[in-house]
Copies of this chain bind each other. A is one copy, B any other.
């Protein structure tokens, strides 16, 4: 039995198989609409994350299965004094697969070690959120049909952004991917990513301050939010914040076939006017997130559809 704890749990080959499966699901949804008849997913969300929870529930329902679970610790009693190990043993009697979101790093790992059903880490604190990374990979793969030779811009808070670190770590496993890292000085990528992931894998990358300088060369732009609180002082924030807001003016600098991704929710880092641009792919990304989760559920449950 397999679990999904980290985006790197699957080999590149296994990931490719899963993305192929997700593509087939996108093309032939009816073929899969009864693949999980009679099966149940438990969504155990110890902190609310409505988008992620509903994406998992949608995925299971699209496969003909059903859902049990809870959406916050407040509406649940399982957290009251019961260990995660005991809870997952109980849930193993109810469901066939489980997606767990937990504020404590490592909680899903404890669950997996004690579970008799596959456990999916749906986010554990600031640590991992592997299905976001699978969604990001799936979106790039679907829009560009390859990773090789792509120049991928990552923009915003590269220091604390969990999704950015995971995405880089996942992408360096493909050959020929180049990165442009766009952030203020204060929010540059941490050393352990720069040295241990990028340099250690001999990956070409560049670090720039302004989005305008990067835009013309990108094939993919992955936007994230820059929080005011992250800056050293108000002055710096005011001087630089517009560097990281994407609008139609800046989009004129980008290639015609550059796509914009965003893990959502966005605040103001992408102007609403950009939504109409055919290169805006952040809502398509949500749709791909459903397909890849369907493929993941089928893979972990070892369900074959012919």
Contacts and interface: CB of A to CB of B under 8 A. Distances in A.
Interface string A19-39: 000000000000001000010
B51 A90 contact: yes
Interface of A: 33, 38, 40, 42, 48-51, 54-55, 57-58, 61, 66-72, 74-78, 80-82, 85-86, 89-95, 264-267, 272, 283, 286-287, 289-290
A89 B42 contact: no
Contacts of A70: 50, 71
Instruction: Please state the number of chain copies in the assembly.
Output: 3
Contacts of A283: 89-90, 92-93
A51 B42 CA distance: 12
Nearest to A82: B265
A57 B67 CA distance: 9
A51 B71 contact: no
Nearest to A275: B89
Contact of A93 (B40, B76, B267, B290): B290
Contact of A40 (B42, B58, B69, B71): B58
Nearest to A85: B272
Considering residues A58, A71, A82, A94, which has the most beta carbons from chain B within 10 angstroms of its beta carbon?
A94
B77 A66 contact: no
Given A75-B75, A90-B264, A66 B68 contact: no
Contacts of A38: 33
Contacts of A265: 78, 80-82, 86
A77 B50 contact: yes
A264 B272 CA distance: 41
A75 B53 CA distance: 11
